[in-house]
Structure 1
Amino acid sequence: MENKTLIPKQIAFGVRLALSCDDAWLSAAKHLDMMNASRPITVRVDTTGLPPGPHFTSIKAYDVSCIEKGPVFRVPVTVLQPQPLRVAAPAPPCLQEKNVLFRPATIVRHFVIPPQEATWAVLKISSESKEKTGRFLIHTMQLLPKRSCRCHEMQKMINVTAETPTILPFQIVGGVTLEVVIAKYWANIGDVVVDYSVEFHGLKPDFGSRLVMGAADGVRAVRLRALRQQDVLPTATLKYQEPVLRPTESKLTPLTARDIIPPSRQIYQLINTYNFHIAKATEVSPIISLLSDMLYESEFESQMWMLYNSNKQLMMTGDAYPSKYTIKLEKGDYTLRLNIRHENKSLLEKLQDLPAIIQQRLQQPITLDVYCSPSLAITGGKKFTSGPLPSGHILPVYFTPVPADKISRSNLSIGQTLSGSVTFAKDELGRKVDTYGVSYVPCEPAKRSQPPRDKDKAKPHDDYMDAVKDFTTNWLAKLGMYYDV
């Protein structure tokens, strides 16, 4: 319960503070009178004179009645000053460094802002030391609001020799600060002098991170912009079918006394059961779209699914990030059990009808047709192969729906989608990393009436039955003559 004797002391609270900062590029008010309510502080940061790289300082608050006791609190301030890119047309914008000495455990960081139209970058690193091989860790990262740092992160170990430059492409987001870290492996003995550069390229579509198409939408137009002149070779391939399932059974129960948070916060678990059938042997990945892209930052305490076959044999378990969990299943019936825990029972009740996606690899990938004009797309004329896109121009390309004969009608159900990837760059490095998702929503298969059966093409059994019927009818007339006598 609230202690009422503290209320007068809280109301009478007041501290006079003196604010100071050691760096000239940050300025704030000199004094702050703290009371029992929140007080804003105005801070001005001037980064015009800062060299490229990270910078740190802090605002220190001292009690004017007793400076000797040190700062009452500190406000840390970190500024990442981006490094300007080298722009020399027609070459792409780049970050370039030469004759950089790397000793074991040496770490070099660069902060740059990629151009707005950039979608991928290429790191080139080379060495002239013929007798030494350098082993480096390359780490790049971009932070977007409300997104995990793993969404735009690349980390890879590479070897650098004097024979040929080592090339490493990676995907980026234009206009967002990019951190590039090059570190020499601590166990790689010896010093190495290297030259490296980071070039930025881009073919930016107008649909964001995923292209969504529907069979009823007709021709789908996509407009492309290029950072510099770039060769365009659009390719869209559907590789998976994604039937959506609803739970056949849902059970919400409280857990045991072991799962009670003191003093009395009860933890509940929700178990959803999904049944599905695999018509042909294929690779399967269960996806819970509401929870799959989050782990520690999820609002729910835990998520885990278990996959069983018809004999109740456990085939696989998994949780977040479904791309890590793929299993090949044979033809048959399977059961997926999803377990979610939370202390709020009402939140779990809302997930009792949570849909699940059973992503299945297609036996044969389906390629979408691409055209350079709406008229050619409608009439099925000459397909678009490749072409240049100058900087500052817009190139529209047109994707057509999948023909009905390419989709298996036996496995198609209402609400099912087809998914895959789409690329636009002709450059091999760009096609490798600058990929986007594509989702295609097919329509329900046509239900046509059967044509009338041709007598000439009747089955032999039908011919035999017709002949027996005619023979019996003829003999009935002959038998009637004997009965009349």
Structure 2
Amino acid sequence: ARKLAFEMRFRLQSTQDWVKTGDAMFMNYSGKRFRIEVDPTELPPGVHYAEVQGMDAENEGRGPLFRLPITVIIPETVPMPEGTVSGSEDFTPGRIVRRFISVPHGATWMDLKLRRPGGHGCRLIVAHTLQRLEGWSNEDGEHQKYAFLGPDAEAMESIAVVGGRTLELCLTQYWWSLGETAVEYEVAFHGVETDDRHLELSAGDAPRRVLLRSPFRKTTIGPAASLTTHRQVIHPAKAEIRPLSSERDLIPDGRQIYEAQVTFRFNQAKSGTVVPRLPLTDGLLYDATIGPHLWQLYDRNQRLLRTDDIWPDDAGPLRLAKGPHTLVVWIRSTQQSHLAAAKNMVLYLDRSLSSPLSIGVFADRSAADAGGPRFSSEMLQVGQILPIYVAAPKSSQLPAAFGDGDLLLGSISYAKASSSQEGAGKRPGGYPLVVTGKKKSSGSSGATGTPRKNALAEQILDLKVNHLKSLSEKDQKAFDEISAEILKQKPNYMPVLVARLHRMDHEAKRKERLADVVAAADAVIAQVDAEALATHFGTNLGTGSEAQKLRAKLTKQRDILIDALYRKGRALGYMELPEVLEKHPITDQDAHNKAFEDNFAELAKWVDTRDPKYALLHIRKERRQQRYGKALSLLNQRIQEMGAVKLLDKKRRDMYESLEWEHLRQNADDWMLRRFPHGPQPF
């Protein structure tokens, strides 16, 4: 009843004559629409403000009951063909001067020049430019310059712009920079138009033609292009959507909050920096359909490395150790259907290339096909159109880690600075350059050659050996039957002996069958002529194809011998562990010691036992000789090189305990709790 009884009469008035509206309005409880006409055509350049005010028709003395603010910005036109605007201002701390400029069509960058005529002392002047474009955030279209200006000093800054749109230029003297200051400023626009502002190439493709045009002033053209970033594309390993707690996660009006949890897994091939990006929701806050998101990154030990949000560049690159990593993303929304898109979101991993990959730019197609000469420089006259050709990189130039779906990112710039021109002489940052492609396989060309007489039998034998390697621990009976069948056909067949050794030396069962590991290793070692290998690798290799084939064959045998010696030495060392000695005591310690030392000496003939691959066996040798200082030094070196590896940290803690260094043992225990948590940290 109170709603129905509400009614009010307003008298409408405008504070400026370029805004027109009706004289009166009657409004009930449901509100009222009315028409406003804004005619800015006669307004001069600058900022203009007006209000439509609603007065109580029965008591205007109450003043406006509502105000509708209207702001109109009329940018000033840049005189052409000069393409320059200028001015001078007297500043005091905190005084802000704003100018709105209509950027000429075809302009791609501007040079802002600040000059302080005379004066004394030093002043900090701040210049801030902003272009508001659809689909851009303010951060994408803004630029700031802080310039310390002494008497008669100048500062120059080149800024990328978009032609045909309004630019806001703000100048101020910083608040703590005291005193009055006169500043002269000049804005000069430049431009090189291109028919492709986002250039995408495919590795191995034909050169791409790009057309350049100078819209309003002659410009020196000197194209330069390079790729600096490898972007790896990762797809979700797991994604699920679930409702959150009905007691805690409810909107006040009763709507349920849902959560999408998306898990990505990737392998860091070597230690280095990476920037994770989630293009579906990065940079989107209030205007996001879903999100925003939070993510957490874990290493192979489930240790939390970083938590971040929708602005990945704020925290900077993250240094990761070699090995597997997991990134988990959480996105929440009251609309369960909106979260369905998160199941197909991708993760970008941006890594800087070790050195920029230069992209060739040429004056004509024939030079591009021949690989030279490259485009040098040329003066582009006003209105002239110039074709250039950008060559795609070869597949062989792609990084070794480049995979299917990956991208190479970089930039291309077209203009070139000249001695007669101030500023950068080109658009800062250039234009985006993207390269797609597929790493060329280094496999065989596909030629089969002349079929060998026993090719079918050898292929069947290879299939059986590969099947042996694929059998799990539960398939021991099948392994024994197939291996016995092959060894009956070909006694002491090396691939079967190696497969048996690796099976016996499986990490999960190793300590239960150490004697079998030693026996299997001895069987492999017995089939390798170590003296013949030593003789071969101690002589210079010939250049013929037969010599190369022999070297490849003997290299494979050498690697098998080294692998068997290492596995045997590790098994002999494990036999001395307390938990193993309880079940399987060593009956002849002297013979055991001799077996370990002889095996280690043989391994040392072929490899540097301090190498990370064999260092644990070398550490075992030093500990057996009670040279704990050397063992601990080598162990610390391996931990520093390999990062957080639980086995290494555990061995170091055990060594502290053996030496009765209780304070270091306790410290090692504390750090192991941090480095190797029992599970991922809860979100």
| TM-score (normalizing by structure 1) | 0.84
Residues 1:361 and 2:352 are matched in the alignment? yes
Q: Partners in 1 of 2:192 and 2:385 — Cα distance?
A: 10
2:78–2:104 contact (8 Å) kept in structure 1: no
User: What residue number does 2:73 align with?
Assistant: 80
Which one of 199, 203, 227 corresponds to residue 211 of structure 1? 199
Counting only pairs closer than 5 Å after superposition, residues 74-153 of structure 1 correspond to structure 2 as: 74-87=67-80, 89=81, 92-98=82-88, 100-153=89-142
Q: How does 1:244-323 map to 2 (within 5 A)?
A: 244-256=233-245, 257-323=247-313
Question: How far is 1:322 from its partner?
Answer: 2.6
Q: Deviations over 1:319-363 (max 9, x none)?
A: 123333312223222111111111222222331231111111122
User: 1:219–1:399: 8 Å Cα contact kept in structure 2?
Assistant: yes
Question: Of the candidates 358, 380, 395, which is equivalent to residue 389 of structure 1?
Answer: 380
Deviates more, 1:111-120 or 1:381-390: 381-390
Q: Deviations over 1:277-319 (max 9, x none)?
A: 1223332111111111213432334311222221222222221
Counterpart CA distance in 1 for 2:287 and 2:378 is 44
Q: Describe the SS at the equivalent of 1:270.
A: strand
Q: Which amino acid aligns with 1:258?
A: R
Is 1:441 the counterpart of 2:441? The answer is no
Distance 1:103 1:456, change over 3 A: closer
- The answer for unaligned runs of 5 or more in structure 1 is 464-485
Q: Quote the Cα distance in structure 1 between the aligned partners of 2:33 and 2:552.
A: 95
CA-to-partner distance for each residue in 1:409-461, whole Å, 9 max, x for gaps?
Answer: x4122111111122222126244724222111113424543777944543068
| Cα displacement (A) at 1:382 | 2.1
1:123 and 1:403 map into 2 onto residues whose CA distance is 40
Q: Which has the larger radius of gyration?
A: 2
Identify the residue that residue 472 of structure 1 maps to in structure 2: none
Amino acid at match of 1:19: L
Q: What is the rounded CA distance, in whole Å, between the counterparts of 1:117 and 1:461 in structure 2?
A: 62
Corresponding position of 2:531: none
Alpha-carbon distance, 1:367 to partner? 1.2
Preserved CA contact (<8 Å) 1:119 1:173: yes
CA distance in 2, matches of 1:39, 1:255: 41
Contact 1:219/1:378 (<8 A) preserved: yes
Structure 2, unpaired ranges of 5+: 418-422, 450-543, 555-683
Match of 1:195 in 2: 184
Q: Report the equivalent of 2:334.
A: 343
1:459 and 2:447 matched = no
Q: 2: CA distance between counterparts of 1:52 and 1:197? A: 18
SS at match of 2:196: coil
Check 1:373–1:29 CA distance in 2 against 1; reply closer, same or farther (3 A cut): farther
Matched, 1:59 2:47: no
* TM-score for the superposition, normalised by structure 2: 0.61
- Call closer, same or farther: CA 1:461–1:265 in 2, change over 3 Å: closer
Task: Select which of 231, 237, 251 maps to 1:242.
Answer: 231
Determine if contact 1:120/1:434 at 8 Å carries over to the other structure: no
- Choose between structure 1 and 2 for higher RCO, CA contacts under 8 A separated by at least 6 residues: 1
2:21 matches 1:28? yes
The answer to which of 216-225 and 230-239 deviates more is 216-225
CA distance in 1, matches of 2:445, 2:37: 75
After superposition, the Cα gap between the structure-2 partners of 1:462 and 1:55, relative to the gap in structure 1 and judged at 3 Å, is closer
- Rounded Cα–Cα distance in structure 2 between residues aligned with 1:323 and 1:185: 27
Which residue number corresponds to residue 37 of structure 2? 43
Query: 2:15 & 2:152 partners in 1: Cα distance?
Result: 49
- Matched length: 449
Cα distance, 1:174 vs structure 2: 1.2
Determine the C-alpha separation between the residues in 1 that align with 2:271 and 2:397: 19
1:471 matched residue in structure 2: none
Q: Please show how residues 225-236 of structure 1 align to structure 2 within 5 Å.
A: 225-226=213-214, 227-236=216-225
Give the 3 Å change call, closer, same or farther, for CA 101–457 of structure 1 in structure 2: closer
Structure 2 counterpart of 1:283, which letter?
T
